Amino acid sequence: MKFNQTHSSKNKILSLGFFIFVFILNTLNVFAETSVPPVDSSTNPQAESISPQQANLAKFKRAARKLLMSRLQDKDGKSAKIKILPPMDYTALQSPDVVTETIQRGIRMYDDNLNVDVVDYKMKSLTLEQFRDAVTKLNTDLLFVTVMHQTNFDLYLYDRRTPYQIYAHSEPISTAAQYDLTSEIAGYYTKLLIRRALYRYIKNQFYELPRDESPPLLSLQIPRYIASQASVDIINKEATNPFMAQIGFGASFAKSANNRNWNSSVVSAQLGYRLVDTTFIKVGFEMSAYNAIFGGVAHVFTGKSNLFKTEFGLSIGQTFTSRTLDWDRTDGIQGGVLHIIPSAALIVPIMDVSIRIDSQLFIGIAPRSYIFNISPGMSFSF
């Protein structure tokens, strides 16, 4: 009996000790968990750091917004007058007003003080005459016109300050959305449309409108499907490429100071560099009965409604009589003579090349002599 009491007492003591041990251990764990300091995001470099791509994107957005705001203001720094017309709707959408509302919100996102209004004015067609009538009657600076097709939404932006340019973008509609076009879907595609059209606006990706006021040109529609930037670059490369090269083959007529005449064939080659707009610095080499090297300046005159171009230039050069293409048996003009060389050309552009007829008059300074060259040929820019 005594042994059982002693054994029971020992069990109670062991149980009490085990309970005290577990209690102390749990207390230490709770203290350890509550002692961990909170993570401060200000001391975490990964919380505030951004990637280089994000930094470049943010920089681009700031620059684009600044450029857009400069385009949407007049010369006094005030907001230009912007009008949004109701869309030309060829879809089954019940409420096309969501398009004009989305465009208005999209423009005002850049500045709440922009003078943007939706007006109830309908254009009969997308022609230069209709755009001019609209901006005149509405007394506005910028005009936004939307055309809604079942397969795509088109947006045209016309700025009266650049009256022969149109900015346009076409946003295709996905096949699934074409058969279930709702106001939410129309609003989504309109957001893409206005953003990308404004991008073309600030990047000067415009389409040239005809200058001629004749009725046939005024009745032409603006292209419904907008070309890619690569296509625009190809079309405009003749006006933007820095270099121009030309070759020609024709006839040469020479008259010396003692009135001796001679004629022969002539081969010519010239290289030009665009100095500004349609003004070129040119150097050339010709072979006939007299070889010649020359350099000067030429300007190309263009007309927006004229198929032909004309070029006038003035150069200075020197003739040589060694290793010529032909031999002037009269020996009327000596080698090493300086010449003043006025020139003229008629140019007909045909796709990537131009057919041209060049004429040059070499006027010898001393002794006085003349060489007249006429050479049909071709030129191209690169």
For the chain, which residues make up each domain, given as ranges? 61-226, 239-381
The upper half-sphere exposure of residue 148, i.e. CA atoms within 13 Å in the direction of its Cβ, equals 25
The values of phi and psi at residue 111, to 5°, are -165, 125
- Contact assessment for residue 361 and residue 375, using Cβ atoms and an 8 Å cutoff: no
If one counts every other C-beta atom within 10 angstroms of the C-beta of residue 9, the result is 10
User: What pLDDT score does 59 carry?
Assistant: 81
- State the DSSP code for 334: -
Residue 34: is its pLDDT beyond 90?
no
Q: Which fold is adopted by the domain 61-226? A: Rossmann fold (3.40.50)
Q: Report which of 315, 248, 314 is spatially closest to residue 287, judged by C-alpha positions.
A: 248
Percent of the chain with pLDDT over 90: 28
The whole-number average pLDDT for the span 337-363 is: 90
Start-to-end CA distance of the chain, whole Å, equals 118
Average pLDDT, the chain: 80
Residue 290: is its pLDDT beyond 70?
yes
User: What pLDDT score does 234 carry?
Assistant: 65
The whole-number average pLDDT for the span 233-258 is: 82
* Confidence band for 272, pLDDT divided at 50, 70 and 90: very high
Three-state DSSP at 249 gives strand
The CATH architecture of the domain made up of 239-381 is Beta Barrel (2.40)
Residue 2: is its pLDDT beyond 60?
no
The Cα 262–Cα 326 span in angstroms is: 10
Residue 277 Ramachandran class (φ > 0 left, ψ -120 to 50 alpha, else beta)? left
Residue 62: is its pLDDT beyond 50?
yes
Residue 371: is its pLDDT beyond 80?
yes
The Cα 361–Cα 286 span in angstroms is: 13
- Contact assessment for residue 333 and residue 256, using Cβ atoms and an 8 Å cutoff: yes
- Contact assessment for residue 70 and residue 157, using Cβ atoms and an 8 Å cutoff: no
The Cα 179–Cα 191 span in angstroms is: 20
User: What pLDDT score does 211 carry?
Assistant: 56
pLDDT tens digit sequence for 66-120: 888 888 888 788 888 999 999 998 888 878 889 999 999 988 888 888 889 999 9
Residue 12: is its pLDDT beyond 80?
no
- Range among 7-16, 19-28, 192-201 rated most confident: 192-201
Percent of the chain with pLDDT over 70: 79
